[in-house]
Structure 1
Amino acid sequence: MVHMNQGQGETSYARNSAFQSAQQNRMKLLIEAAIIDLGSNTNTLLPQKVVIADLGCSTGPNALALVSIAIKAIQSYCLQLQQPSPELLVFLNDLPDNDFNMVVKSLVTLRQSKKPLVMIGVTPGSFYERLFTSSSLHLVCSSSSLQWLSKAPEVLARNHIPAYDIDEKARRERLPIVLQAYAEQFRKDFTHFLELRAKELAPGGQMVVSIIGRRFDGIASFHIWEIITQVLSVMASEGVIDKEKFNSFYMPMYGPSNEELKEIIHEEGSFSIREMLVHDFTGGINKELITPAWTANQLRAVFEQILVQHFGDLMDDFVKTSERCWSVEGRLHDELARLAMLTVSVSKA
């Protein structure tokens, strides 16, 4: 079960989601362009009813960010063309264990203005399954979510190959096998995601998504789950967590390169790419904030539930070990610099 830390406490996702918030801000221009493209596909006038879905909305202040950007873009577009605002139907989606109570309490902010009329619905479920009726959506957004896989690649567990060997020599030897297994699982999942959204989007529908990925192709590139597993491997080597449990831990997450994304989108065939951007992972965040302690809490808010389910109560030790591992000057920034935020805008072909 994957969900962010709930509530509004010190370790909650609501208070520790700065990386995700920065990425949502970088999606603004692409969402605005998608609204203009949607209008041009319908002879300048937007449909009388526009349906928007945010997939993987999570909770806290980020939950309404993307749909709020889309609503403001629609208002601006209609004002510029002096046309009536369409009625808006907004769907917020995430897995059933998401903190929807907090999301629902914040929905009133979307309905404060009577122009345009905004109706809101919550749609629990995996975005690796059908969520909406055929040809019903006009705009789909998703931020920092699609790096989560439907499951970790089963071939590794079946062959007793750890995702991250404690022994460095063994890790180097097995790395090509590990990365191929993860890449194949991502290709399967992302292809299925595109097929599902193609069925749900109306003709001319738009989709803007961001994914935590990596800058380069190849074995030497840094993968998103490494920043977690490196810390866990230290804990395992020091006896803080059981080595067998560490060897059987597979993060259901993969960070693609932009070339991988392009290739999968082209091969699936339902969408044409309007624009693809590659950003620094830490872009838009005050660099002075990015300390070992701050970063450890950001990671804790995202990964605590999945780590505790596998290892038990280890988060205080995880935070302390993270801070110690990243205390070497420049190491944390070097590791984060190898990650990237990939943003792609596509139109239904």
Structure 2
Amino acid sequence: MASNQMVRMNQGQGETSYARNSSIQNAQQNRMKPLIEAAIVDFCSSINTGSLFPRKMLIADLGCSSGPNALALVSIALEAIHNHCLQFQQTPPEVCLLLNDLPENDFNTVVKNLVTLRQSNKPLVMIGVAPGSFYERLFTSGSLHLVCSSSSLQWLSKAPEHLTRNQIPAYDIDEHTRRERLPIVLEAYAQQFRKDFTLFLKLRAKELVSGGRMVLSLIGRPSYIIDSEFFHLWEIVAQILSVMASEVRSFFFFLAQHFIIC
């Protein structure tokens, strides 16, 4: 998730599409399964009065993207509700699933994948899409029972203003300059994340029902990893991209010479 001007994930089902190249994200979603199941059980138990299940539940995935991953989290929640109702012999609630991402997301692919979910014998009533940034209000007040988000909240609403205002790149190809500016860059992004995450929590607090639950995962690193070790990977990537760019320039220079001679 990022600002509305950011590029989207590759659309479709082709070899280079996000749908065919998102196994790491899928693994992260699978690790969230016990957390989502526990959130469902905990929520239903906390509001359970007179051994009655809630009559309706609204579940949202924020930053769903496209492809099979778009339905992974809500499918886990739906299965958890189904199993909980069977265990306690309760009437299943009416469930509404809402999938959110930026407007340029490939929702066409998402909608096609919804057919399979519709055919399942789960307590599903309605599925909808909610295009827009999750750094803005998306849903009505007091409407959400469960909010899920996986590998999305590390995307900021915008680049840190301090860096853009002073034209400081997030990653400078010059090693000396990069290391000199590293503390400034890290602090700028940390401040932007704190600002965005605080806003995210305030917005969801308005949209969640009393006692509603959120299960969130985002990419990070253990604090004991030294910054220099963490950034070594990006140095390798930068070198590879630099070589690729050089080869592309050489290729086009060759083409230009060829066409001039012809």
Q: In the aligned structure 2, how far is the partner of 1:5 from the partner of 1:183?
A: 28
Return the TM-score normalized by structure 1. Answer: 0.65
Partner of 2:9: 4
Does the 8 Å CA contact 1:51/1:89 hold for their aligned counterparts?
A: yes
Q: CA deviation at 1:186?
A: 0.3
Greater Rg over alpha carbons, structure: 2
Residues 80-120 of structure 1: CA distance to partner in whole angstroms, max 9, x if unpaired?
11110001000011100000000001111222135413310
Partner of 2:188: 181
Partner of 2:152: 145
The amino acid that maps onto 1:78 is: C
Query: What SS is found at the alignment partner of 1:240?
Result: helix
For this pair of structures, how many residues does the alignment match?
241
Partner of 1:34: 39
Q: In the aligned structure 1, how far is the partner of 2:88 from the partner of 2:186?
A: 49
Query: What SS is found at the alignment partner of 2:183?
Result: helix
Q: CA deviation at 1:64?
A: 0.5
* Residues 1:232 and 2:231 aligned together: no
Which of 110, 115, 120 aligns to 1:108? It is 115
Does the 8 Å CA contact 2:79/2:122 hold for their aligned counterparts?
A: no
Q: CA deviation at 1:215?
A: 1.3
Which of 93, 100, 104 aligns to 1:93? It is 100
Q: CA deviation at 1:163?
A: 1.7
Q: CA deviation at 1:228?
A: 5.5
Does the 8 Å CA contact 1:110/1:118 hold for their aligned counterparts?
A: no
Q: CA deviation at 1:221?
A: 6.2
Residues 45-92 of structure 1: CA distance to partner in whole angstroms, max 9, x if unpaired?
431001000001111111101000000000011111111000100001
Query: What SS is found at the alignment partner of 2:214?
Result: strand
Return the TM-score normalized by structure 2. Answer: 0.85
* Residues 1:17 and 2:22 aligned together: yes
The amino acid that maps onto 2:237 is: V
Structure 1 residues 156, 117: closer, same or farther in 2, change over 3 A? Answer: closer
Partner of 1:161: 168
Q: In the aligned structure 1, how far is the partner of 2:77 from the partner of 2:238?
A: 39
Q: CA deviation at 1:234?
A: 4.9
The amino acid that maps onto 2:11 is: Q
Which runs of 5 or more residues in structure 2 are unaligned? Answer: 1-5, 250-262
The amino acid that maps onto 1:160 is: Q
Q: In the aligned structure 1, how far is the partner of 2:227 from the partner of 2:115?
A: 47
The amino acid that maps onto 2:164 is: A
Q: CA deviation at 1:40?
A: 1.6
Which runs of 5 or more residues in structure 1 are unaligned? Answer: 242-312, 315-349
